Amino acid sequence: MTTPIPSLRALLGLDALSCAGMGAVLLAAPSALGGWMALPPALLSGAGLALLSVAAFMAWLARGPGVPRWGLRLVVAGNLLWVAASLLLPLLGLVSPNAAGWAFLLGQAGFVGIMAWLEATAGRAPSVAV
């Protein structure tokens, strides 16, 4: 028995909401969070700004009558790039997070990776995209 995948519009709405929430948190306290996780505050605030922009785009896609394939592809590709950057920044030595920073990076990368998979899977339904 398989578990049904939520609708693409619902997934995009959840993704938009999570991006907006995380973006707001990162913008509200980049210095405090950066000190706690040993991550550069400028990286956190820049990520926060990017997330708010991405949230607006995803919300726009989710509200339309149909999700265009190009939009879905852009969301999935962007999510996969986010996962790659989250893992490569510390692995390449560009940032040096502490244990809390690693937990943050791995946790959000895992969530974003799952969202990308769910959105790609939901987007394969024949009646989903225009």
Q: Is 129 helix (H, G, I), strand (E, B) or coil?
A: strand
CA nearest 13: which of 45, 78, 59?
A: 59
Q: What is the pLDDT of residue 1?
A: 53
CA nearest 85: which of 58, 57, 59, 113?
A: 113
Task: Give residue 113's region: left, alpha or beta (phi > 0; psi -120 to 50).
Answer: alpha
Q: Taking all residues of the chain, what is their mean pLDDT, rounded to a whole number?
A: 93
Compute the residue count for the chain.
Answer: 130
Q: What is the pLDDT of residue 65?
A: 81
What pLDDT digit, counting tens, does each position of 3-29 carry?
A: 667 899 999 999 999 999 999 999 999
Q: Is 67 helix (H, G, I), strand (E, B) or coil?
A: strand
Q: Are 36 and 100 in contact (CB under 8 A)?
A: yes
Q: For the beta carbon of residue 60, count every other beta carbon within 10 angstroms.
A: 12
What pLDDT digit, counting tens, does each position of 48-91 carry?
A: 999 999 999 999 999 988 899 999 999 999 999 999 999 999 99
Q: Are 51 and 111 in contact (CB under 8 A)?
A: no
CA distance 60 to 64: 7
